[in-house]
Amino acid sequence: MCGIVGYVGNKSAKEILLEGLLKLEYRGYDSAGFAVINGKNIECLKCKGRVKNLKEDKKIGSVIGNLGIAHTRWATHGEPSTRNSHPHLDNEGKIAVVHNGIIENYVELKNFLLERGYAFLSDTDTEVIPNLIDYYYKLNGNENFLKAVKQATDELVGSYALEIISTHNLGEIIITRKDSPLVIGKGVGENYICSDVPAVLSYTNVFYYLGEREFAVITKNDIKFYNNNLESIKKEEKIVDWENSAADKGNFEDYMLKEIFEQPRKVEDTFNIENLKSLDLPKEYLNDLNKIVIVACGTAKNAGTVAKNVFENLCRIETLVEVASEFRYRNPIIDNKTLAIFISQSGETADTIAALKLAKSKGAKTLAVTNVKGSSITREADYSVYTLAGPEIAVASTKAYTSQIALLTLLAIDFAEKLNRVDSKIIEELRAELPNIGSKINFILENKELYHNIAKDIIENRDVFFIGRGIDYAVAEEGALKLKEISYIHAESYSSGELKHGPIALIEKGVPVIGIITDEDLVEKSVSNMQEVISRGAKSIVVTNQEIESDNFDYIINIPKINKLLSPILSVIPLQLISYYAAKEKSLDVDKPRNLAKSVTVE
Ligand code: F6R
């Protein structure tokens, strides 16, 4: 989704802004633009399409200055076009604004401004903002620009992260936010602004996270923070310990491939027991729980479905998994005896954050499982624990998924040890497996030729089915999501036993069915389900760690044996790579699939 970068210092702002925008390309966008203060004027350059179009624009040479704001836009209001891309200016061209989020009452505000003689050049919701600031600035007798910004934002309904520059306050960038992230990177004699840390990680690792409805006025030597009453406040510096190179592709062709291959280390890092030190949920509290609710979106939700199996097995607590966008709009039955866990790689997903606020308002304790320290979700949750996946740049989540499962498993083990409801041997056996998991993932990664061949064999198909039982079904869900989102092949997941209740009607000659079979208690049943589709002509592909007759299947992917509850961390790897190669074979942009955004900060 939209990305924001800002710079004030002594260097050429446009170089830093453009480099920052390139680093945010992974978020998904359809147009880009930036504005700098050139002497006493605002210079603006915008384009439809990629950031490289800005770089190649003939006018770029004349856009000079040491202070500027920049944006990649993911269209919500108005088609992707130069006219609709940000920054947007007020009618006099003295105030420029970039905006992430959605202004829900923009029609009302636009009418208000139209009645007062303002004109609009774009179809966006954003364009009301610079004009509204102008309106208030004039109402204040052309004084106190910050106050005018506050007055204007007081009128906004919806979500926003805003960067504002103006010829009324030369040398300053004003930022503010509500329900959309914005961070400030601190430099020496220069400061940076960004929606996501990787944009400026090559310049600084010292960050300030702006809170809800707070303001910051940023100059090259100073950063001043204010609350929503414009009273001065102090903010704590946060050091981000991600290596700068972590946000580069290294020797890999794509971020996604790099991130898939990082999984052995990232999973092991996340399993590091130190990870849960900060979390102290006492035995008495856990004993009193009536349920756990896991809420998330997309791949994070799929990791939640795996975790449901683990929590129920080890802790014997009923565990529900909910899609955040649904959960937030119903009246879920939760109370102070519910532990609500919210999983989000980015920590910025609008629906997940709203769901967390709802759970909190109903008295549940809330726990965030995220990859990004200081992200919005961590500021809302009662507790936060972190996956150690490092920055995930590819839109399709891979290492975050396996790291989420690792962390949630660790959490379930911690709870189980306190609850003592299952035989301690089960926990011991599980713990004993953890140190070897990285080498088992490495073993699976070595088989890439097989995954590539399978990918080549399925790319002409219209539909692919993923099936499994129990915890394998949870992985089937993720396999189907990965394939559809990056290769654009229609993919569905079903629990194997459910096939004959309808979906089997879709199986005909050559339709690929990928079965995941790792649960030794269910092997025979799962194999029978595969036989049912084979006898209807399906192309059969099996991912397994069980001894099953390979002659029956078109492809068999053997993965190492592991405790059933950990098997998703292994069985998902071939599925990630099949999707990856399918997308590559179709010459698609695996890192930036169409219509998708990395961080979904609007609902
Ligand atoms: C799929 C994918 C998405 C995200 C979802 C939630 O590969 O990446 O489905 O999992 O948008 O994002 P986070 O985890 O940032 O809340």
**Is pLDDT larger for residue 253 or for residue 596?**
253
Residue 182, pLDDT > 90, answer yes
Smallest CA separation from ligand 1 atom 11, residue: 298
| Predicted pLDDT at 295 | 98
User: Residue 517, SS3?
Assistant: strand
Burial class (CB in 10 A: 0-12, 13-18, 19+), 111: exposed
Determine which helix (DSSP H) or strand (DSSP E) holds 470, and give its type and residue range. none
Q: How far is the CA of 49 from the centre of ligand 1 (A)?
A: 23
The response to whether residue 352 sits with its C-beta less than 6 Å from ligand 1 reads yes
Q: Using 50, 70 and 90 to split pLDDT, how confident is the model at 166?
A: very high
299 within ligand 1 shell (Cβ under 6 A): yes
| 161 pLDDT more than 90 | yes
**Locate tokens 């109402």: which residue?**
139
If you search the block for the tokens 């960050």, which residue do you land on?
A: 207
State in words which class domain 249-443 has. alpha beta
CATH architecture of 3-245: 4-Layer Sandwich (3.60)
* Helices within 116-203 (DSSP H only): 128-139, 145-154
Mean pLDDT, the chain, as a whole number? 94
Each domain of the chain, given as residue ranges in start order, spans 3-245, 249-443, 447-591
Q: Go through 130-162 and write b for each residue having 16 or more CB atoms within 10 A of its CB, e for each that does not.
A: bbbbbbbbeeeeeebbbebbbbbbebbebbbbb
Task: Using the predicted structure, report yes or no on whether residue 145 has a pLDDT greater than 90.
Answer: yes
What's the CA-to-centroid distance between 301 and ligand 1, angstroms? 8
For residue 345 and ligand 1, the question of a CB distance below 6 A is answered with yes
pLDDT tier, 473 (very low <50, low <70, confident <90, very high otherwise): very high
Alpha carbon distance 243, 205 (integer Å): 9
**Rounded Cα–Cα distance for residues 220 and 70 (Å):** 17
73-97: pLDDT as tens digits = 988 888 888 899 999 999 999 999 9
Residue 122 region by backbone torsions, left for phi larger than 0, else alpha for psi between -120 and 50, else beta:
beta
Check pocket membership of 575 for ligand 1, CB cut-off 6 A: no
Distances (CA, A) of 334 to 290, 292, 322, 339, 386: 9, 9, 12, 9, 25
Q: Ligand 1 mean position to 304 CA, how many Å?
A: 12
pLDDT at 279: 79
pLDDT at residue 1 above 80? Answer: no
Q: What is the 3-state secondary structure (H, E, C) of 246-306?
A: HHCCCCCCCHHHHHHHCHHHHHHHHHCHHHHCCCCCCHHHHHHCCEEEEEECHHHHHHHHH
Distance 298 CA to ligand 1 centre (A): 5
Distance 496 CA to ligand 1 centre (A): 25
Q: Which amino acid is at 82?
A: T
Q: Are 212 and 179 in contact (CB under 8 A)?
A: yes
Most informative mutation of 195, 196, 255, 299 for ligand 1 (most atoms within 8 A of CB):
299
CA of 346 to the centre of ligand 1 (A): 8
Neighbours of 282 (CB within 10 A): 9
Task: Write out the catalytic residue numbers.
Answer: 2, 598
Ligand 1 atom 9: residue of nearest CA: 298
| Best CA proximity match to 89, nearest among 133, 139, 24 | 133
Mutate to test the pocket of ligand 1, among 486, 600, 603 (most ligand atoms within 8 A of CB): 600
pLDDT in tens, 521-559: 999 999 999 999 999 999 999 999 999 988 889 999 999
**Could you give the C-alpha distances from 401 to 392, 474, 478, in angstroms and in order?**
10, 12, 9
What is the arrangement of strands in the sheet containing 490-495, beginning at the earlier edge strand?
Answer: 490-495, 463-468, 512-517, 539-544, 555-558
Atom of ligand 1 nearest to the CA of 599: 15
Residue 241: what pLDDT? 78
pLDDT tens per residue, range 306-315: 999 999 999 9
Residue 316 to residues 207, 290, 319, 367, Cα–Cα distance (Å): 41, 10, 9, 19
Residue nearest to atom 6 of ligand 1 (CA): 297
- Between strands 41-48 and 31-38, the pairing is antiparallel
Does 601 sit in the ligand 1 pocket, CB within 6 Å?
no
Averaged pLDDT, 448-456 = 98
Ligand 1 pocket residue status of 298, Cβ below 6 Å: yes
Q: How far is the CA of 530 from the centre of ligand 1 (A)?
A: 30
In this predicted structure, which of 178-182, 217-221, 223-227 has the lowest mean pLDDT?
178-182
Enumerate the β-bridge partners of residue 294: 321, 341
DSSP string, 110-126: HHHHHHTT----SS-ST
Nearest CA to ligand 1 atom 16: 344
The reply to whether 447-591 shares the fold of 249-443 is yes
Residue 558 to residue 561: CA distance in whole angstroms: 9
Mean pLDDT of 139-160: 96
User: Best substitution site from 195, 254, 349 to test ligand 1's pocket, by max atoms within 8 Å of Cβ?
Assistant: 349
pLDDT beyond 90 at 112: yes
Alpha-carbon distance of 228 to 485, in angstroms, equals 40
The predicted model gives 236-256 an average pLDDT of 83
Q: What is the position in ligand 1's atom list of the atom closest to the CA of 301?
A: 10
CA dist 179 and 354 (Å) reads 9
The pLDDT, as a whole number, for residue 244 is: 67
- pLDDT of 248-301, one tens digit each? 788 899 999 999 999 999 999 999 867 676 678 899 999 999 999 999 999 999
Contact 375 CB / ligand 1 (< 6 Å): no
Which class does domain 447-591 fall in? alpha beta
Q: Is 576 touching ligand 1 by the criterion CB < 6 Å?
A: no
No. of H helices and E strands in the chain? Answer: 19, 25
User: Above 80 in pLDDT, residue 602?
Assistant: no
Q: What is the pLDDT of residue 245?
A: 66
Q: How many CB atoms lie within 10 A of CB 119?
A: 9
- With beta carbons less than 8 A apart as the criterion, state whether 68 and 42 touch: no
Mean pLDDT of 423-441: 94
User: Which pLDDT tens digit goes with each residue over 375-407?
Assistant: 889 989 999 999 999 999 999 999 999 999 999
CA atoms within 13 A on the CB side of 512: 25
Angstrom distance (rounded) from CA 126 to CA 106? 8
As a whole number of angstroms, the distance between CA 84 and CA 45 comes to: 12
Residue 397 Cβ contacting ligand 1 at under 6 Å: yes
Q: How far apart are the CA of 299 and the centre of ligand 1, in A?
A: 5
Pairing label, strands 539-544, 512-517: parallel
- Answer yes or no: is the C-beta of 371 below 6 A from any ligand 1 atom: no
Instruction: Report DSSP state, residue 58.
Output: G
Kindly list the strands in the beta sheet with 160-166, ordered across the sheet, starting from the edge strand earlier in the chain.
88-89, 95-100, 160-166, 173-178, 215-218, 223-226, 232-233
251 CB-side CA count, 13 A: 2
| pLDDT (mean) for 165-185 | 95
Atom of ligand 1 nearest to the CA of 400: 14
Whether residue 485 has its Cβ less than 6 Å from ligand 1 = yes
d(CA 539, CA 363): 50
What's the token pair of residue 160? 């926003």
**CA 453 – ligand 1 centroid, Å:** 28
Pocket test for ligand 1, best of 301, 346, 576 (most atoms within 8 A of CB): 346
Pocket flag, ligand 1, residue 180 (CB < 6 Å): no
Q: What residue has token string 């995941």?
A: 516
Identify the pLDDT of residue 248: 77
**Ligand 1 within 6 A of CB of 376:** no
Ligand 1 center from residue 598 Cα (angstroms): 7
Under a CB-based contact definition with an 8 Å cutoff, are residues 247 and 23 in contact? yes
Give residue-wise pLDDT tens across range 553-588. Answer: 999 999 999 999 999 999 999 999 999 999 999 999
* Atom number of ligand 1 nearest to Cα 370: 14
Average pLDDT over residues 143-172: 96
- Residue 153 DSSP SS3: helix
